[in-house]
Each structure stands twice: as structure tokens, then as C-alpha cells.
Chains A and B, each alone.
Chain A
Amino acid sequence: MNAIRPGAAVAAAVILLSTNSAALAHGFAGQRFFPATILTDDPFVADEMSIPQVTVNPPTPDGSRETDIDIDLSKRITPDTDVIIGDSWQRLKPTGLPAVTGLGALHTGAQYQLFVNGPHEALGLVGLNVTWAHTGRVQALGAPDFTTLSPTFDFGKGLGDLPRWLPYLRPFAITGNLGFDFPTKTESAGVPNPTDFNYGFAFEYSFPYLQCCVKDIGLREPFNRLIPLVEVAFTTPINRVPATQTIGTIQPGVIWAGQYFQIGAEAILPVNHFTGHGYGGVVQFHIYLDDLFPRSIGRPISEWW
């Protein structure tokens, strides 16, 4: 019988206090687990990696079609800060022309975890992302010849604090991001580069939350780890071009979140003819470095020594 004794607790406390910050990796707020979403930015610092994310975009208004293979890495520097880096390989197939391929622009970022509220399952994060000029195929693929600075605020909120007489609403959660893109050049080759307002949301229903915290309805692997969701994201220019040229997508899909990795798949539906027509799709394989390597690279760099 492994009874839990006070003496053992004290000894373990010393160990835990020295390693505690390894604990709060990926998206937890109280009993709520937030998966890494595909379209909208995540409201938590993390040691995670997407290898890869494959996107077949809907055809654009001129009929061309782009396929992207993205790799992204998030790495905690301290328990509350992380850096991100990512790039993509792109294939663009214009109508009636041969396809062109190459790298997209390199993007990096730094993020700070503003708050984590366990009882109310709330998260907040601020970040500054940078998309770097001349790091992709500018002429062939339309990669930017200018650097863009993008401050963001990301948030998450689970509905687990609803009254218990609303049990089946409690597994719902929403995450979202609000941000701007500030280009460092006002135009490129005679085409204006607007400042954009970006806003996106992910509406999630967590079967893991339903099973663990509301009602065990008998779901077992793999269904007890599914999180159906709908993501939406929009970009509205606020200068240099008409604001009516808002573009965006709606992406219904599902994420399966395991112990060490998650797999997500979503359809991509354009919201208007400025965005495109038809439909596309995206799949993502995403690993949790903090769970795979909890005593080495999955820890914040500040705790490596």
C-alpha cells in the first residue's frame, strides 16, 4: 500500500520546486487543456513543434492554387516566455502556367504569457512576430520584399466555470487572436502594402473535458481524445487599400490530442470572392516536446543549467 506520508511529501517538494516550471508547458489553465489550433495563434507559451502542416489552399480569385508545407517550432526561454520560428515550402500553380516552387518568408516571434487563471480556465499572451524580407522567393512566389512587424494578443477561455446545471456547455472553449501587420515598406513594385488588422477565433468542444470533468459517456480511445472545432480568421486592411477587401477563411475540423502529439485536420472555406472560391484542406502533425523530452529540450532554456 503506497500511503502518502508527510515526510515523503517534504522530500518530493524539494524536487518539485526545483523543477516546477517544466510542468506548465502547453495549454493548461486549471483542468482545461487547450490544443494547439491550426489557423489561430495559441494563447500559451510552449515547447512544441509542427512537423509538418500541409495546406492545400482554395483556388484564389485568379484561379491559381497554392500548396504549403510548413514547419514551426515554439521553444520556451523561461517558464513564461518563448520564441517561435517557422518557414514553409510552397508550390504555386497559376492557371495555364507551369508550377513554381520555393521557400516562403521566414517568420519568427517572441511571446510572453500575460496570465493563466485556472479556476476560470483563462489564458492571455502577448507577442511580436516578424516576417522577414527577402527570405523567400520574392518574384516567383510573391514572398515579401519587406519585413512585417506583427504585435498580437492571444487569449483562451474555457466554459468550465459555467453552473453545473449547464453540464454539456462546459466542454466548450474559445481561443482567439487580435493583431496588426505593420509593413516596413508602403509599396512593392507599385502595389500598396497595407497595414492589416487580423482577428481570428477557434470554437472548440472538448471530448476529453466532457469525459474527465462533466460526464463519462463511455467514450474510449481514440474518441475520448477528439476535439471538434471551427476556426475562423480574417484580415482587414486599415489603410492604402479599401477596407472592403477583407479576406478570411472558415475552417471546420477536428483535433485528436494524444499524450505526446496531436493530429489535426480541417477543411478550408473562403469567406468571400476576394479570398478565393471552392475549398481546400489542411492537416497538421504536432508534437509536444515538453512531454517527449521532459528532462532535456522540453524544459525552458533558463532551466537547462
Chain B
Amino acid sequence: MRGIIVALVAGAAAVGAAPLALAHAFLDHASPAVGSSVPASPPVVTLWFTQDLEPAFSGVTVTNEAGQRVDLGNVQIPPGSPAELQIGLKPLPPGTYLVSWHVVSVDTHPTEGTFTFEVGRG
């Protein structure tokens, strides 16, 4: 029993003693929102993550229903917002669009994902 208590205390201490720890970056929310419908073409797609990102290894594309790129290719992490990823869009006609992202958090953990949003059908 004493060993178990020591292990519990050590475990709790390990969690508490890792304030500088980093982790996988999950998508927290996006604009346009995941699965949403917006009335008009948005100028940009913005993704907010749960961890700071490694700029050189993080990217996002937006494609239409035919699989053609409709983004401007100008992926950026805005200054002062290291957990945010943004890309500009061409003017979008009504339709469904697929956002595909892949990011690497600053401790090298990669994550990826996709979601859709609709323009002019809401």
C-alpha cells in the first residue's frame, strides 16, 4: 500500500511539475465554423488551435466540390497569435467547400483534419 501511495504522489507531482509541457494541437474552433453555412463568401478562413504551431510545418488548403483550390495560398500565422492559422480565399460562389489542415505543434507533435462549410445555402 505504501508503494501505491508513493506512486500516486509521484504521478500527481509529475503532472503538476510540467508547466512548460506542450502537446498535440487540436482544432479549437474555426471561422467559418466547422460544418456551418455562411450567406456570402468569407475573405479568409481562420483556424484556432489548442497549442502554438510550428509555422514551417503547418498549412491549410480550401477546395471546392470539384477538388479545385479556391484559396490564395497565403497561409500565415498572425503576429502575436501563435496558435492561429489563416488563409485568404478567392471570391466563392455558392457551394460546399472543404478545408484541409495539417499542423505541427512547437514540440513536433503533428495533427491533421478536414471540415466543410457552405456558402450561400444557409
Contacts and interface: CB of A to CB of B under 8 A. Distances in A.
- Chain A at the B interface: mostly helix, strand, loop or mixed? mixed
Given A118-B112, A213-B113, A213-B114, A101 B76 contact: no
A164 B116 contact: yes
A169 interface: no
Interface residues of A, number: 51
A49 B24 CA distance: 17
B77 A101 contact: no
Nearest to A259: B23
Contacts of A8: 55-56
Contact of B109 (A23, A118, A164, A208): A23
A241 interface: no
Contacts of B10: 51
Contact of A3 (B14, B51, B74, B109): B74
Given A31-B112, A213-B115, 13 more contacts: A2-B77, A3-B74, A4-B55, A13-B56, A16-B104, A24-B110, A31-B113, A71-B7, A89-B4, A214-B115, A215-B34, A291-B21, A293-B21
Interface string A278-305: 0000000101101111110000000000
Nearest to A52: B8
A4 B59 contact: yes
Nearest to A7: B56
Contacts of A24: 110
**3 tightest CB-CB pairs across the interface, nearest first?**
A215-B35, A12-B56, A51-B11
Contacts of B107: 22, 294-295
B57 A288 contact: no
Nearest to A294: B107
A191 interface: no
B18 interface: yes
Contacts of A97: none
Interface in B82-122: 82, 104, 107-116
Interface of B: 1, 4, 7-8, 10-12, 14-15, 18, 21-24, 26-27, 29-30, 33-36, 50-51, 54-59, 74-79, 82, 104, 107-116
B77 A294 contact: no
Contact of A1 (B50, B51, B57, B79): B79
Contacts of A164: 116
A69 interface: yes
Contact of A22 (B21, B33, B59, B108): B108
Contact of B4 (A69, A167, A261, A292): A69
A57 B33 CA distance: 44
A294 B21 contact: yes
A2 B80 CA distance: 9
Contacts of B12: 51
Interface centre among B21, B27, B78 (most CB of A within 10 A): B21
Interface string A204-242: 000010011111100000000000000000000000000
A298 B74 CA distance: 34
Given A2-B78, A214-B115, A291-B24, A101 B108 contact: no
Given A8-B55, A22-B109, A216-B36, A292 B14 contact: yes
A289 B116 CA distance: 33
Contact of B57 (A12, A31, A167, A261): A12
